[in-house]
């Protein structure tokens, strides 16, 4: 399982890390591997205000469809247009080119509650 140690995680398998004064978010390597080849993604409109834990989109593979959850509250400022025609990027490079959304966080207190890469790995391994 590959991890980006600069990012924080939540047990629903999204990662998030600072990107200038914004946050960038995607799905973990473990998540892309469990889903297998991504075939569809639905991302939010720019400008949308979402709370931590809100559904910001849906991701679908031939195996399953899953909701995507906001790791922090914030306003969507950008979605990754480059992946819409090349969904395999999410599978090949989930932490970099395969990012999904960028947002302006509105409550950084929430950041402290997210899992470190190490703790996320433990949580995933405990899940089996």
Assess 62 for contact with another protein (CB under 8 A).
yes
Assess 125 for contact with another protein (CB under 8 A).
no
Segment contacting another protein by CB under 8 A, of 59-67, 75-83, 96-104, 106-114 = 59-67
Complex with another protein: residue 60 or 75, whichever CB lies closer? 60
Q: What secondary structure letter does DSSP report for 115? A: B
Q: Which of 19, 46, 49, 63 binds another protein (CB under 8 A)?
A: 63
Segment contacting another protein by CB under 8 A, of 33-41, 71-79, 94-102, 108-116 = 33-41
Rounded Cα gap, residues 49 and 109, in angstroms: 17
Of residues 84-103, which lie at the interface with another protein (CB under 8 A)? 87
Segment contacting another protein by CB under 8 A, of 1-9, 61-69, 70-78, 111-119 = 61-69
Rounded Cα gap, residues 6 and 16, in angstroms: 9
Q: Identify the bridge partners of residue 108 per DSSP, sorted by sequence position.
A: none
Q: Identify the bridge partners of residue 105 per DSSP, sorted by sequence position.
A: 74
Assess 34 for contact with another protein (CB under 8 A).
yes
């Amino acid at each position: 399982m590959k991890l980006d140690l600069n990012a924080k995680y939540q047990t629903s398998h999204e990662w998030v890390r600072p990107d200038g004064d914004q946050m960038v978010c995607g799905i973990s390597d473990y998540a892309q591997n469990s889903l297998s080849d991504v075939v569809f993604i639905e991302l939010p409109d720019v400008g949308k205000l979402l709370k931590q834990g809100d559904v910001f989109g849906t991701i679908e593979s031939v195996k399953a469809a899953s909701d995507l959850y906001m790791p922090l509250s914030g306003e969507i400022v950008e979605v990754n247009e480059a992946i819409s025609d090349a969904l395999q990027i999410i599978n090949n490079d989930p932490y970099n080119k395969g990012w999904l959304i960028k947002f302006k966080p509105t409550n950084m207190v929430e950041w402290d509650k997210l899992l470190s890469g190490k703790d996320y790995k433990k949580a995933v391994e405990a899940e089996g």
